[in-house]
């Protein structure tokens, strides 16, 4: 609900006016969440393997609900940056939920399970920008932070009362507990996992480098500020809709033909889908191009998550997913900062083409590191 108007929030509520300054601040603020998440995710992953994944769900969910409400009271870009960093420190809902699902799903059904949870996440990605854009035009920007915090609180209550976990504390306590560094050393000896961590980083870097600038691009294409929050949300919703449709289908396909193949083809398709975005001349051309991108994005993260479970030793699922989340956070952190810095020189059109090249290189990496080793 917040991403579509982050740049507009900086412009209309926090007093920034220079487009390049807005782009840089938006990139830094968006990335700030992932700076601290990159550091703390492995720590939460270790605690999840020791004390259970559900506990990590509740810690993260209730904590983020409080921080999100506080963001609505920010009066300067610095306030928003510090709160985003605090949010990243206590985050970890997604890796804990993925680890919880992976620990209870048969490996031969892992692709479909990961595609389904990705589809659920994308349903939120569709409704979030769409409703956020409508609300921004109707009630302003600050109330949306309060609404988002309330929704996070409700989601945490659902996890508390509905989600069940069969976790053997005694067995977990009897298992040799390694430090975060030692756990990484163990995982780093599995070359396929290290390759997948690298793939995750490049996916997020390529996808996120132009992301915070899209609302400004939509404003340029539209030619006015009227209904701009709604249109920016609609552009984001188009990607989420196609992603939601494609994720379970591609996940089920990966169970049949192999997640490596689905991952490689999806990377090439996503790369090609960035090209028409660079040459869009109307908002609706951008919407169609982003819809096409979402079809291929639906095969990326679920395939990576399924492959991580395939190559991870039993009992280290949360650890592996937390390290992968750290690399994802690193991509989310470096991508927007780099995109904001480069936007003044090559524009968002140039960023789309850079993302295209990175996705193609990523597909080549998957071919060399995973497919050729099979």
Radius of gyration of the chain (CA): 20
307-325 pLDDT, tens per residue? 888 888 877 777 788 888 8
Tell me how far apart the alpha carbons of residues 344 and 3 are, in angstroms, rounded to a whole number.
Answer: 21
Tell me how far apart the alpha carbons of residues 345 and 292 are, in angstroms, rounded to a whole number.
Answer: 27
177-197 pLDDT, tens per residue? 666 777 778 888 888 888 888
Across the range 98-112, mean pLDDT stands at 78
Task: Give 179's DSSP letter.
Answer: P
Q: Which of 356, 261, 350, 260 is nearest to 310 (CA)?
A: 260
Burial letters 89-121, b for 16+ CB under 10 A, else e: bbbbbbbbbbbbbbbebeeeebbbbbbbbbbeb
Q: Which phi and psi (to 5°) does residue 151 adopt? A: -65, -40
Of 117-126, 160-169, 296-305, minimum mean pLDDT range: 117-126
pTM, two decimals, is 0.68
**Is 169 within a domain?**
no
**Is 131 within a domain?**
yes
234-283 pLDDT, tens per residue? 787 788 788 888 888 888 888 888 888 888 899 999 999 999 999 988 88
**Is 229 within a domain?**
yes
**Number of domains the chain is built from:** 1
Question: Angle at which helices 259-278 and 191-208 pack, to 10 degrees?
Answer: 20
Tell me how far apart the alpha carbons of residues 76 and 82 are, in angstroms, rounded to a whole number.
Answer: 10
Q: Which of 202, 219, 232, 209 is nearest to 342 (CA)?
A: 209
Indicate whether 103 pLDDT > 80. no
**Is 36 within a domain?**
yes
Across the range 148-176, mean pLDDT stands at 82
Q: Which domain holds residue 42?
A: 3-161+181-371
Provide the mean pLDDT of the chain: 83
Q: Which of 111, 112, 156, 146 is nearest to 307 (CA)?
A: 111
DSSP letters spanning 28-63: HHHHHHHHHHHHHHHHHHHHHHHH-HHHHHHHHHHH
Across the range 14-33, mean pLDDT stands at 81
**Is 284 within a domain?**
yes
pLDDT number for residue 73: 92
Dihedral sign computed on CA atoms, order 79, 155, 292, 194: positive
Higher-pLDDT residue of 125 and 292 is: 292
pLDDT number for residue 61: 92
Banded pLDDT at 81 (limits 50, 70, 90) = very high
Based on the number of CB atoms within 10 Å of its own CB, is 326 exposed (0-12), middle (13-18) or buried (19 or more)?
buried
First to last CA, the chain: 41
**Is 154 within a domain?**
yes
The torsion region of residue 16 among left (phi > 0), alpha (psi -120 to 50) and beta comes to: beta
**CATH number, domain at 28?**
1.20.1250.20
């Amino acid at each position: 609900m917040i991403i579509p108007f982050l740049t507009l929030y900086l412009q209309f509520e926090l007093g920034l006016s220079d487009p390049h300054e807005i782009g840089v601040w938006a990139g830094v603020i968006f990335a700030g969440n992932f700076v601290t998440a990159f550091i703390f995710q492995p720590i939460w992953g270790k605690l999840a393997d020791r004390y259970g994944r559900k506990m990590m769900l509740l810690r993260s969910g209730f904590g983020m609900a409080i921080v999100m409400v506080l963001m609505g009271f920010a009066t300067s870009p610095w306030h928003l940056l510090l709160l985003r960093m605090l949010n990243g420190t206590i985050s970890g809902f997604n890796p804990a939920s993925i680890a919880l699902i992976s620990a209870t799903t048969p490996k031969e059904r892992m692709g479909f399970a990961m595609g389904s949870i990705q589809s659920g996440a994308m349903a939120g990605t569709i409704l979030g920008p769409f409703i956020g854009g409508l609300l921004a035009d109707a009630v302003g920007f600050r109330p949306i932070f309060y609404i988002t915090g309330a929704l996070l609180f409700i989601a945490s209550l659902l996890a508390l009362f509905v989600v069940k976990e069969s976790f053997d504390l005694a067995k977990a306590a009897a298992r040799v507990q390694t430090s975060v560094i030692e756990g990484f050393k163990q995982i780093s000896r599995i070359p396929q996992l290290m390759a997948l961590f690298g793939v995750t980083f490049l996916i997020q870097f390529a996808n996120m480098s132009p992301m915070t600038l899209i609302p400004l691009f939509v404003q340029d294409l539209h030619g006015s500020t009227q209904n701009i929050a709604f249109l920016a949300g609609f552009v984001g919703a188009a990607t989420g809709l196609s992603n939601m449709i494609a994720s379970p289908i591609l996940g089920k396909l990966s169970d049949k033909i192999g997640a490596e193949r689905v991952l490689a083809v999806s990377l090439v398709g996503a790369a090609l889908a960035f090209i028409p975005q660079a040459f869009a001349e109307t908002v609706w051309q951008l919407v169609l191009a982003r819809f096409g991108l979402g079809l291929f994005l639906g095969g990326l993260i679920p395939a990576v998550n399924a492959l991580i479970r395939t190559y991870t030793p039993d009992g280290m699922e949360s650890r592996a997913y937390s390290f992968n989340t750290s690399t994802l956070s690193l991509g989310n952190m470096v991508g927007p900062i780099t995109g904001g810095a480069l936007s003044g020189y090559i524009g968002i059109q140039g960023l789309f083409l850079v993302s295209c090249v990175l996705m193609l290189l990523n597909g080549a990496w998957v071919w060399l590191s995973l497919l050729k080793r099979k």
